[in-house]
Structure 1
Amino acid sequence: MGGAVVDEGPTGVKAPDGGWGWAVLFGCFVITGFSYAFPKAVSVFFKELIQEFGIGYSDTAWISSILLAMLYGTGPLCSVCVNRFGCRPVMLVGGLFASLGMVAASFCRSIIQVYLTTGVITGLGLALNFQPSLIMLNRYFSKRRPMANGLAAAGSPVFLCALSPLGQLLQDRYGWRGGFLILGGLLLNCCVCAALMRPLVAMAQPGSGPPRSSRRLLDLSVFRDRGFVLYAVAA
């Protein structure tokens, strides 16, 4: 019986287009929901933060801004981590970061501390979950990829409709500190989703050694694509 070779890259194993891919799709649905909805849903706590710290609306708006900046601005870091460690370990660490940031924020005594915990730490954690989850989704789906991406993207409106009322309920019952603490626990579900991101496994051919996997931290070959360069410049 041949040994098993773990597929750490986007090629090497045919996408199953089903099977365990549906579990991966569910995990990606949840991660996408948290990543897109959380920076907006956290705004329900801004009124209490204004009263707590004696600040203005523009000061609280920085929380969502930093969250989004970390989510979209740390793409190169996420790529390096995924190429070095793989998707599942990066997502597990990201889930811990996302939860830790919100739990730490519940003990903050200044708005700057909230920026660092909710904005930077939680934002980084969500980023370390969001981008690797999309990578895994595209590895598991090929022919059904448009449908899979559409279903995963549906997590954004679903979670936005759910997290905002939940945040308001938590604020009314437990205050913003208790609400942040509970949301931190809720974000631990990102680790559960990370556990679903099982790497694809291929059976090694008899008499052949394991395939070499590329470990380049940065792959700049995309810049040789003229269409991509034109799109990037236009954007």
Structure 2
Amino acid sequence: MPFSTSGGCLGPCVYPAVPDGGWGWAIAATFFLVEVCTYGVIKSLGIFLEDLIKDFGESNTRVSWVLSICVFTMTFTAPLSTVLSNRFGFQPVVMTGGFLISLGTITSAFVNSIDEMYITLGLVSGLGYCLAFLPTVTILAQYFDRRRATVTSVASSGESFAMFAFGPALTALKRHIGWRYCLMLIGVLQASVIGCGCLLRPIVIEPQREEPPPIPEKQQQPSPSLKRLQTTYDLDNEQTRTSISSASEDSRGSEDSGVTSLTASSTDMRAVSAAPTETKALMMEWEEQGSASVPPTPLKRLDGEVEVALGDTRRPSRAKLLDFSVLEDPAFICYSLFGLFATLGFFAPPLYVVELSKSRGVEENMAAYMLSIMAVADVCGRLSIGAAMNRLPCRKTLVMLGCVVLLCLVLVAFTMVWEFWGLAVCSALYGFFMGSVGSTHIPMLAEEDVVGVHKMASSVGVYVCIQSFAGLAGPPLGGVLIDATENYGSAFYSCAVGMGLGAVCLALVGPARAATRRRAVGTQGCPSCSPDNTSSQDDEQPDFLEVDLAPDSISPVKQAGSCRDTAGAL
């Protein structure tokens, strides 16, 4: 698809329609690397859980707060990320996020207490994760339409590859250099997000306009009777043009759209709406010439002035920095509650699965492979869900609902299995369904069943902010259960309960959207229920101003040309 650029090689990409590719492939590769450096690192921090407990002499609950604060900061500051992206653009925001991620991770290697790590890895890196991840996934959804689900699923597999590589690698590396130097190496790798931010070129959609064929000069010459008719209308409606011109100037001076000012002059319009005798005679003469088109309108010379008056309404308004109006949408509320409860099961299992395996008799080296098994299955899940959503004839929210229900059952199975192979099977199933849900729950906002692509950029921050509270409570809740029962399997119960509640809320999204549409149709079908009915009777009367502002209104000269074209064709 052809496109143009402005502002240099890293400026906006201009397309006539959503490209479903183009520079979007570079955005997808960027998102892959951002996933590696954000969620891939977060879900691999469980490798250092035992080391932090021993070095700082803290409990599971205290150490798990590091991940909780990081996730909470990442999600709670999502509205800030949305506001900054809409105000300054995606590129500077993501570059700033990459710097904060690297800074927080590297400084975490020099802390002397778990409280200091709450600040470095929890607050600083958590804010960086938010600024880097959300703008990237948002702009990726804008570059794709038909392939959105597939591309997002494949690009988000960077998280899975990171878990697959980081699990065994960091386990072996920390034995030689310790966990502090491992964090320093991770921080250096995360600095690559700064370069990724430069590639997030904004997209501009400018549909191509087809220019009408030029009209021959002979056909543009009006007849003498039409000239007399136009002159008469100009004289008869001088007062009307003056009132509209002044209203247009007033609207431009007050930065108003001009619609109110033009409507206010409707009294003057009705005052001159009765055509004089001379005008009626000319109209009869014009009709006798064989014209079959609509009679000329008296505002022919006002077209330019009306365009100026209405010019502000035709310009694309700046997108809202943050759209809290989505909280009035029942479907969005149900979907946000799904994200809130489901987040309880997003981060705790990768954090505790290694220690759970050790407590079930699995050797430390083999226990680290549980993360790798999750990662491989996660990739398969992301690829499968993209193909399934594009091909299955049912709603995409129903496909996700099935994955959430199965994920809930797998979390319960973690508490019932022992030894390596049982845990490996559960890890594989968890990774598959977790990849299916994790790669699509944010892009799913672009579907019409939720909010639609036109509101995604401003609503994603609100959605992720609501998720933040579950991200804050999830790992500590699991830590409290582990300290109370001395059983790592108890942490998976809280995850299963949260995922089950999320499934219930997700099932209500479709009925909530259907109810909203029925109310909208009912309001349109009942004129007495419409808020426009509260307007005055004068505004409801279809005077000739409304007719003249219609797109099909044309001047006598243009009508004459049209008549001659028809006659010539016959």
Q: State the distance in 2 between where 1:147 and 1:99 align.
A: 30
CA offsets 1:134-153 (integer angstroms, 9 cap, x no match): 11101111121111111122
For the pair shown, which has the larger CA radius of gyration, 1 or 2? 2
Q: Runs of 5+ in structure 2 lacking a partner?
A: 210-310, 338-504, 507-570
Amino acid at match of 1:79: T
1:7 and 1:200 in contact (8 A); partners too: yes
Q: 1:112, CA displacement in angstroms?
A: 0.6
Amino acid at match of 2:48: F
Q: Secondary structure at the match of 2:38?
A: helix
Deviates more, 1:92-101 or 1:121-130: 121-130
Structure 1 residues 70 and 96: CA distance shift in structure 2, 3 A: same
Q: Which residue of 2 aligns with 1:115?
A: 118
* 2:76 is equivalent to residue 43 of structure 1: no
TM-score under structure 1 length normalisation: 0.85
1:191-210 pair list within 5 angstroms? 191-201=194-204
1:146-157 pair list within 5 angstroms? 146-157=149-160
Q: State the distance in 2 between where 1:42 and 1:144 align.
A: 33
Q: Which residue of 1 aligns with 2:144?
A: 141
Q: Which residue of 1 aligns with 2:171?
A: 168
CA offsets 1:202-228 (integer angstroms, 9 cap, x no match): 67999x9xx655153222343354422
1:7 and 1:13 in contact (8 A); partners too: no
CA offsets 1:25-82 (integer angstroms, 9 cap, x no match): 0111222233322222112122222222222222221122222212222211111111
Q: Which structure is richer in relative contact order (CA contacts within 8 A, separation 6 or more)? A: 1
Q: 1:178, CA displacement in angstroms?
A: 0.8
Q: State the distance in 1 between where 2:61 and 2:326 align.
A: 38
Q: 1:25 aligns with which of 28, 42, 46?
A: 28
Structure 1 residues 164 and 3: CA distance shift in structure 2, 3 A: closer
Q: Secondary structure at the match of 1:104?
A: helix
Amino acid at match of 2:322: L
Q: 1:231, CA displacement in angstroms?
A: 3.4
Q: State the distance in 1 between where 2:92 and 2:317 align.
A: 17
Q: Which residue of 2 aligns with 1:55?
A: 58
Q: State the distance in 2 between where 1:54 and 1:202 align.
A: 56
TM-score under structure 2 length normalisation: 0.37
2:15 and 2:203 in contact (8 A); partners too: no
* 2:95 is equivalent to residue 92 of structure 1: yes
Q: Secondary structure at the match of 1:122?
A: helix
Amino acid at match of 1:152: A
CA offsets 1:95-141 (integer angstroms, 9 cap, x no match): 00000001111111111111110111111111111110111101111
Q: Which residue of 1 aligns with 2:322?
A: 218
Q: 1:89, CA displacement in angstroms?
A: 0.7
Deviates more, 1:164-173 or 1:219-228: 219-228
1:42 and 1:164 in contact (8 A); partners too: no
Q: State the distance in 1 between where 2:114 and 2:78 align.
A: 26
Q: 1:201, CA displacement in angstroms?
A: 4.9
Structure 1 residues 224 and 48: CA distance shift in structure 2, 3 A: closer
Amino acid at match of 1:53: F
RMSD of equivalent CA atoms:
3.1
Q: State the distance in 1 between where 2:324 and 2:68 align.
A: 29
Amino acid at match of 1:214: R
Q: State the distance in 1 between where 2:104 and 2:317 align.
A: 34
2:104 and 2:124 in contact (8 A); partners too: yes
1:35 and 1:71 in contact (8 A); partners too: no
Amino acid at match of 1:220: F
Q: Which residue of 2 aligns with 1:229?
A: 333
Q: State the distance in 1 between where 2:193 and 2:125 align.
A: 12
Q: State the distance in 2 between where 1:189 and 1:179 align.
A: 17
Q: 1:7, CA displacement in angstroms?
A: 5.7
Q: Runs of 5+ in structure 1 lacking a partner?
A: none
* 2:162 is equivalent to residue 159 of structure 1: yes
Deviates more, 1:81-90 or 1:65-74: 65-74
